[in-house]
Amino acid sequence: MSRAEGEHFTRLDRRPIFGDKQEIRFPRTNKTMKLPSQLEVLQERIGYRFQQPSLLRESLVHPSYLQESPAEPQNNQRLEFLGDAVLDLILSEKLFDLYPNEREGTLTKHRAILAKGLFLSDLAKELGLHECLLMSRSEINNKGNVRPSSLEDALEALVGAIYLDSDLPSTRRVVLEWYGDIPEQLLACASITNPKGRLQELVQPTLGNTALRYEVSREEGEAHNRVFVVQLFLQDKLLATGEGKTKKEAEEQAAATALSHWTMPRK
């Protein structure tokens, strides 16, 4: 069977991912391993069945998991690197076709909304990746499975895994099914494309230009995979916390979180 002939099917329900384990042979390692049946349910959710289940499992291995399971052959960072490029290509092609009269700058902004930040982590959560991530106990205790940066990485790694297991046309078909109506998605995101600016507009008339303050509270991870955590203050009151692979992403996430529960402060 060629990669293009792999089995595909439409996403089904949103029932919780759980269940017993069954034996599956992993072609990449040529070993029989225990694959939780929760990953069978995950394959229904994502609309793709893997010929090489080891690729699916690898896409869900957070780097912290190797600290407690040193026998694990690989974390998901290499697949994330590949999937990031594949996802960018798929979205670039689609946006290029959907908006024939838009200039490069606008297309780039559209792609950034769909391929990064809260949109991508929310999509990962909708697909159920947060229920399947393999992490260290400390990461799980710190709710690392719902951390946006971890979910972004896992979704990009999943795209890379599907690409290696099949081909570009198959991956494109699956990914675009996840996204649905892209113009509608972009319209829904229009109000949060510049969360820092929008928050400033709300605050400025009452409290002035300098009332908002963003502070980096900590940095995590290795130099090539750094995660920034930013606290957002309104004067001396902590409004929200955000994180991202850059300070800008972390600040935008903090602002978006603040907007989601915004109440105009009293004078």
User: How remote is the C-alpha of 95 from its chain's centroid?
Assistant: 19
Residue 265 included in any domain: no
Instruction: State the CATH number of the domain containing residue 152.
Output: 1.10.1520.10
Pair (249, 118) in one structural domain = no
How is residue 94 written in tokens?
């689609």
Is 222 known to be catalytic? Answer: no
Is residue 127 a part of any domain in this protein? yes
State how many domains the chain has: 2
Give one DSSP letter per residue of 49-94, joined into a string: --SSHHHHHHHTB-TTHHHH-TT----SHHHHHHHHHHHHHHHHHH
Q: Name the more confident of 193 and 144.
A: 144
**Bridge partners, residue 32, by sequence:** 25
Q: Could you tell me if 177 and 145 lie in one domain? A: yes
Give residue 193's pLDDT.
64
Co-location of 132 and 252 in the same domain: no
Q: 102 with 39, same domain?
A: yes
Per the domain annotation, does 29 fall within a domain? yes
What pLDDT score was predicted for residue 234? Answer: 93
Active-site residue, from 58, 80, 84, 243:
84
119 and 159 share one domain: yes
pLDDT of residue 30: 41
Q: CA 86 to CA 255: how far, in whole Å?
A: 29
In a domain, 267, yes or no: no
Highest mean pLDDT among 40-44, 154-158, 216-220: 154-158
Question: In percent, how much of the chain has pLDDT > 90?
Answer: 46
Shared domain check, 169 and 207? no
Residues 176 and 217 in one domain: no
Identify the domain boundary among 171, 191, 211: 191
Shared domain check, 124 and 160: yes
Q: Which of 197-201, 211-215, 261-265 has the lowest mean pLDDT?
A: 261-265
How far is residue 5's CA from residue 221's CA, in Å, rounded to a whole number? 39
* Co-location of 254 and 187 in the same domain: no
From 191, 215, 233, the end of a domain falls on 191
Do 234 and 102 fall into the same domain? no
Residue 122 vs residue 267, higher pLDDT: 122
Q: Are residues 150 and 133 in contact, defined by beta-carbon separation less than 8 angstroms?
A: yes
Instruction: Report the CATH number that the domain containing residue 205 is assigned in CATH.
Output: 3.30.160.20
Where a domain ends, among 172, 191, 210? 191
Closest CA to 206 of 238, 231, 234: 234
**pLDDT of residue 35 exceeding 80:** no
Tell me the β-bridge partners of 238.
Answer: 233
Give the active site residue among 139, 152, 156, 243: 156
Provide the mean pLDDT of the chain: 82
- Collapsing DSSP to helix, strand or coil, 244 comes out as strand
Phi, psi of 87 (to 5 degrees): -65, -45
Structure tokens at 75: 């974390």
Reading the block at residue 234, the tokens are 């309104």
Tell me if residue 156 is catalytic: yes
Q: Residue 78 domain-assigned?
A: yes
Judgement on whether residues 153 and 241 belong to the same structural domain of the protein: no
Answer whether residue 204 is part of any domain. Answer: yes
Looking at the chain, the whole-number percentage of residues with pLDDT higher than 70 is: 82
Q: Quick one: angle between helices 182-189 and 168-179, nearest 10? A: 50
Do 256 and 151 lie in a common domain?
A: no
Q: What is the pTM of this model?
A: 0.66
Domain-embedded: residue 157: yes
Q: Which domain range does residue 198 map to? A: 194-260
What pLDDT is recorded for position 192? 61
